[in-house]
Amino acid sequence: MLVEDQLIIQRVHSIFLKKMGYQVDIAENGKQTLNMCLDSTYHLIILDAGLPDMQGVEVGKRIRILEKNNKTNRKPIILLSAYPANDLKKWCQEAEIDSFSTKPIPYKDLYIMLKNIFNRKAVNNEII
């Protein structure tokens, strides 16, 4: 799932992700994201930090609560933000967000981030 309120960024990120072979569902705000998480199982959430109705970090925290309450698998979350990286690290740790990057993110970096997340997930699944 891609969570982004800016239409042009939605389109550009969607094209990149589809070229990598991912199916992309789009949410435009926090409330829509949480509703979609209740209705579907996603393998990954790419989350904008500045959404119109709530901060991305808060959405991440609420996703983790939903996962625990519904006993569903933990989804990797990547937070993309215009805030400085030193602030992001603390916020992401508190919200149990897996990875973060400042905007704009070079697609090479996003590609590496996605590969690392899915390789780590595969290794963890083999261990369990």
118: confidence class by pLDDT, cuts 50, 70, 90: confident
Contacts for 7-13 with beta carbons within 8 Å, 24 or more apart?
Answer: 9/48, 13/46
Spatial separation of the C-alpha atoms in residues 92 and 77, rounded to whole Å: 10
Q: For residue 3, what is the DSSP state?
A: E
- 3-class secondary-structure state, position 27: strand
Instruction: Work out the percent of the chain whose per-residue pLDDT is above 90.
Output: 70
Residue 87 has pLDDT above 80, yes or no: no
Place of tokens 């973060």: 100
pLDDT value, residue 121: 55
Q: What is the pTM (predicted TM-score) of this model?
A: 0.88
Q: For residue 34, what is the DSSP state?
A: H
pLDDT value, residue 39: 81
Q: Where are the domains of the chain?
A: 2-127
Write the class of the CATH domain 2-127. Answer: alpha beta
Q: Mind giving me the DSSP string for 38-71?
A: HH---S-EEEESB-SSSBHHHHHHHHHHHHHHHT
pLDDT value, residue 98: 92
* pLDDT tens-digit map of 33-79: 999 999 888 999 999 999 999 999 999 999 999 999 999 989 999 99
Spatial separation of the C-alpha atoms in residues 12 and 8, rounded to whole Å: 6
Spatial separation of the C-alpha atoms in residues 1 and 84, rounded to whole Å: 24
Give me Rg for the CA atoms of the chain. 14
> Which range is least confidently modeled, 46-50, 55-59, 103-107, 120-124?
120-124
- To the nearest whole number, what is the mean pLDDT of the chain? 89
